[in-house]
Amino acid sequence: MFRRVAVRTIRKYTSETGRAYQNAGSQFATGSTYKKTRRWIPWSIFGSSFLLGWVATQHMTFTDFMAYWRYETLPESAPEVVEYKNKLLQRLDNLSVVKQLKGAGYVEVLPSQKSSGQLIDQTLNSPGAIAIPPRFYFNPKTKETVGIYHLGMKLTGYPFIVHGGILATVLEDLMRESVKFNKDKNSEKTKDISISYRMPTFANQFVVVRTTKLETFGKNIKLQADIMDQSGMRLLVKGTGSFSI
């Protein structure tokens, strides 16, 4: 008797289990309870990668990346460093703003002899930072000065964005050169600088720094200057500075 009860129980259990598996299999196969999830992750990754790549190609080249990672460890006479600097000089010569300056009565002027310890021509003078010397233009009639600087990836604070302290240094450097060009002096002293940041400045591009106003009060000079993007059309930074001669 006990054996018959055990057999009936086992048969009942196996039959119910079999029906449960069949039902579960049929439900999974027919998709009545299975919900498809959207495959948004691959598309979001693709979109983000495309956007990042587009921004990168707009503001930097392969040689710029190489300058950031490698060129600083090479001697200045190394072929790679020389080639990188030559390419930057070619890009500078082909800027539309350079042609516009020459057509507007600006003449290229050499910077004055700078004292030792300057950030622009010593500390920051390396591939990936300020690899080539800035170029200066002066208008004898309007007394305005324009400087063109190339700012590399090593000058960033946030990714791809030039550090605000670097922009302040570049602005002051142009103002000091303007004082020397206008007053024909080889020495000046910065009294104060104030800066207003208008838009982020992307690295690995040229920036155009220009004076917009110059006032003289005896031995004191007050200037206003702007930092523009390499097209000369977009305002990035505004600043004022006071100097004594």
CA distances 244 to 134, 146, 192, 202, Å, are: 23, 21, 10, 32
Exposed/middle/buried for residue 67 (C-beta within 10 Å: 0-12, 13-18, 19+): buried
Residue 147, pLDDT above cutoff 60: yes
What are the tens digits of pLDDT across the range 202-226?
Answer: 998 999 999 999 998 888 999 999 9
pLDDT tier at 29, thresholds 50, 70, 90:
very low
Q: pLDDT at position 44, please?
A: 62
Residue 187, pLDDT above cutoff 60: yes
CATH of domain 62-244: 3.10.129.10
What average pLDDT does this structure show over 147-155? 93
Rounded Cα distance, 180 and 184, in Å:
5
Reported for 112-115, long-range contacts at CB under 8 A and 24+ positions apart, including other chains, are 112/177, 112/180, 112/186, 113/186
What average pLDDT does this structure show over 135-145? 93
Rounded Cα distance, 175 and 134, in Å:
13
Which of the residue ranges 119-128, 143-152, 229-238 would you say has the lowest mean pLDDT?
A: 119-128
Q: pLDDT at position 43, please?
A: 59
Sign of the CA dihedral 18, 21, 27, 29? negative
Q: Which is more confidently placed, 189 or 38? A: 189
What are the tens digits of pLDDT across the range 35-54?
Answer: 555 555 565 655 565 555 44
Q: pLDDT at position 24, please?
A: 44
For the entire predicted model, the pTM comes to 0.71
Q: Which is more confidently placed, 79 or 50? A: 79
Which of the residue ranges 37-51, 73-87, 109-123, 213-227 would you say has the lowest mean pLDDT?
A: 37-51
Q: pLDDT at position 52, please?
A: 57
Q: pLDDT at position 116, please?
A: 41
Residue 79, pLDDT above cutoff 90: no
Q: Which of 235, 205, 236, 227 is nearest to 91 (CA)?
A: 205
Task: List the chain domain ranges.
Answer: 62-244
Dihedrals φ, ψ of 133, to 5°?
-65, 145
Residue 126, pLDDT above cutoff 60: yes
